[in-house]
Amino acid sequence: MKISEFSPADFSQLESAWRTLEKGIEMTWFQTYEWYKIINKHFMAEKKKAPFRKGTYVLLSDDDGKPLMIAPIQIVKTGFYVKGIGLKKGFYFIGRQGFSDYLNFIYDEFKGEYLGEIISYLTQNYGMNYFCFENVSSTCTSYSYLENVENVDKVDSLCMSLKIEDDFDFYLKNLSKSMRQNIRTANNRSARDGLKFTYRILDHITDEKADELMAIRAQRLTQKQDAVWDSSSMQAKLYTKGRNALVDFTSKPIDVMKEIDNCWCFLAECNNETAAFFYSVYKPENKTVYLLLAGVDKKYEWYSPGITQLISFIQNEISNGKPDVEFLDMTRGNEKYKYDLKSKEITTSQFSFYK
């Protein structure tokens, strides 16, 4: 086997190998070349956001040059870790710190010997032996391997995913009684008020549409933030201001809607206006949609347009034999509406160990 190493500046040289491996059934959209191109540009190439860190991409190939695994690695050479705050000196995934809901190595088929080769290479070439791999999904073979590493520490978190059933009536009957009532109530309200909601799905949006959707999303976020701010002490307010300033300087959020080339943007509309949206991305190999952002216009929230139209989509997809979508991955967070839609919990874990 052969190991090659690529810097963030050389990222484009990995495209052919990466696009081959990302088709693996265990790879989510967060392991695609398209996503990492964005991460590489905004997180690794701009050094001011990671002053004591280095990014590298380790490619493992067989003797004939066939790619076997890519490890997107962030190297922390100067660690600072006191009472659980900061980072230890060692190796981490590129894409951590909230950028990617699922993190993993890039592979078509996972084999422990592949990862063993990469770990040995990193320890020998960088003189460090601490590894921390987070947001690994329990649905992946890599999870089982990392779970059994000697003296590993594991910290769990949660994502949610909805499997579209083969029978819509079965799905509907398994929704909670309150959820079914809420859907009927929302439909009755819109019929009474003469409002007709429809949905459509876009695979690309303009910058103007992105601004519109983010403005809708900001309505709810601003409302929540104002409520928390009003109930906070002066000390908490000062801490929040300082923390927000630090976040803006070190890791300003990516405007993903304007960066992603191909999306799966679900729009619930009324009178040619956007009433609600689920901004997502789609991975055809998995027939899975991954939710990134969602919002509902306060003008229409009384009618629950996002939920009712998503239910309509599920019904239509089942009627057509689920040609495109089998899973609606709701990603990080366990908001109530995800449970109401009968999404299932997926454990994601952080594995840390010394080698």
pLDDT in tens, 251-280: 556 788 999 999 999 999 999 999 999 999
* First-residue to last-residue Cα distance in the chain: 21
Average confidence (pLDDT) over 222-245 = 60
Q: How many contiguous H segments (helices) and E segments (strands) does the chain have? A: 11, 15
Q: How many CB atoms lie within 10 A of CB 333?
A: 12
**Would you state the pLDDT for residue 77?**
85
Structural contact between residues 51 and 277, judged by C-beta atoms closer than 8 angstroms? no
Most confident of 18-22, 175-179, 238-242: 18-22
**Would you state the pLDDT for residue 231?**
61
> pLDDT > 90: what percent of the chain?
78
Residues in the chain: 355
- Mean pLDDT is lowest, of 93-107, 230-244, 321-335, for 230-244
**Would you state the pLDDT for residue 275?**
98
**Would you state the pLDDT for residue 99?**
82
- Mean pLDDT is lowest, of 60-69, 184-193, 218-227, 317-326, for 218-227
Q: How far apart are CA 312 and CA 305, in angstroms?
A: 10
Per-chain mean pLDDT for the chain? 90
**Would you state the pLDDT for residue 164?**
97
Average confidence (pLDDT) over 143-163 = 96
Between 88 and 316, the more confident residue is: 316
Between 30 and 243, the more confident residue is: 30
Burial of residue 316 (CB within 10 Å: 0-12, 13-18, 19+) is exposed
How distant, in Å, are the alpha carbons of 27, 126, 229 from that of 113?
Answer: 19, 20, 51
**Would you state the pLDDT for residue 229?**
47
Average confidence (pLDDT) over 172-184 = 94
**Would you state the pLDDT for residue 60?**
97
**Would you state the pLDDT for residue 237?**
56
114 phi, psi to nearest 5 deg: -65, -50
Structural contact between residues 324 and 317, judged by C-beta atoms closer than 8 angstroms? yes
Residue tagged 């962030």 (tokens)? 74
pLDDT band (50, 70, 90) for residue 72: very high
**Would you state the pLDDT for residue 121?**
97
Structural contact between residues 14 and 21, judged by C-beta atoms closer than 8 angstroms? no
pLDDT band (50, 70, 90) for residue 243: low
- 83, pLDDT greater than 80: no
Q: Is the dihedral of CA 111, 114, 116, 118 positive or negative?
A: negative
**Would you state the pLDDT for residue 222?**
57
342 Cβ neighbours under 8 A, 6+ residues apart:
162, 171, 174, 175
- 163, pLDDT greater than 80: yes
Between 86 and 331, the more confident residue is: 331
Average confidence (pLDDT) over 174-184 = 94
pLDDT band (50, 70, 90) for residue 299: very high
Ordered domains of the chain (ranges, CATH): 2-159+350-354 (3.40.630), 165-325 (3.40.630)
3-class secondary structure, 175? coil
Instruction: Record the pTM.
Output: 0.88
Average confidence (pLDDT) over 314-337 = 94
